[in-house]
Amino acid sequence: MLGTHSTTVPKDEIRSILEQLEARFGRPRLIARFDPMDELVSCILSQHTSDANSFPAFTNLRATYPDWQDVVDAGPERVADAIRKAGLANQKSKNIVACLIEIYTRFGSYTLEPLRTMPTLQARKWLMELPGVGPKTASIVLCFSMGRETIPVDTHVYRVSWRIGILPEHVGEVKAHDLLLDSVPSELAFRYHVDLIQHGRVICKAPLPNCSACPIRERCRWFQAGGPEQHASELKVKRRKVAKAP
């Protein structure tokens, strides 16, 4: 049955898969966008929305309240007005203010620099104790602002990972963070994250991938098991049912 294939992909094969993807898309380089505090708040704003909405909201927040203490003093209601474009502004503003208060309480200032001295999994656990911070947000902060060997799992990383056989299909994005850390060589973590996002956006799309253009289809468990054809057939059946519905 599809989705129950083995996930014991050798680490050397994972390395080879990334090299094939990078021959197509280029090898990514890690360039920090923000410091850890900015990255954390930016990530919270990006939840359940696009970069086109979250980045302007972040820019407006920092312009309106230049210091983190200004954000705390403003309170959730006024912060929500500043980040409205990011969507879910009321909830996100509460989480941002609560995170800032918690960080200040623990470290005595608005900083995440003490995380640099923690082991990676301990630092991720610490971040996940903050309001509104799950494994993806925590992993992004550690990966992109500190260069730590974490793998943020978004919908593209998750979908491509199970299609090529590195994850079970129905494990879920939350558990996938730990499973990928066990499966992917640590020094390849950043490259894995970026390569699979690029591949998922351009070729291995949902609902149907462009397998004819895929440089790794011969290594793809889903392709070898006839997954694309089966999925295409299932979609046709669903569309017929929708078309016949009154």
C-beta of residue 184 within 8 angstroms of C-beta of residue 71:
no
Reported confidence tier of residue 6, pLDDT bands at 50, 70, 90: very low
Structure tokens at 82: 């500043």
pLDDT number for residue 245: 67
* Homologous superfamily of 36-146: Hypothetical protein; domain 2 (1.10.340.30)
C-beta of residue 37 within 8 angstroms of C-beta of residue 112:
yes
CB atoms within 10 A of CB 193: 25
3-state secondary structure of 226: coil
Q: Which residues contact 162 (CB under 8 A, 6 or more apart)?
A: 3, 168, 169, 171, 222
C-beta of residue 145 within 8 angstroms of C-beta of residue 32:
yes
- 205 part of the active site: no
Cα 135 from Cα 153, distance rounded (Å): 8
Mean pLDDT value across residues 167-196: 95
Among 11, 125, 136, 244, the one annotated catalytic: 136
Chain segment 79-135, per-residue pLDDT in tens: 999 999 999 999 999 999 999 999 999 999 999 999 999 999 999 999 999 999 999
Q: Give the predicted TM-score (pTM) of the model.
A: 0.89
Query: What are the angstrom distances between the C-alpha of 191 and each of 8, 26, 29, 40, 100?
Result: 20, 10, 8, 21, 30
Map out the domains of the chain as residue ranges.
1-30+151-246, 36-146
Q: Residue 103 — φ and ψ, nearest 5°?
A: -65, -45
Same fold, 1-30+151-246 and 36-146: no
Q: Residue 141 — φ and ψ, nearest 5°?
A: -60, -50
Structure tokens at 76: 């959730």
Pick the CATH number of 1-30+151-246 from 2.60.40.10, 1.10.1670.10, 3.40.190.10, 1.10.10.10: 1.10.1670.10
pLDDT number for residue 7: 58
Higher pLDDT, 138 or 242: 138
Mean of per-residue pLDDT scores for the chain: 93
Cα 38 from Cα 34, distance rounded (Å): 6
> Which amino acid does the sequence have at 212?
S
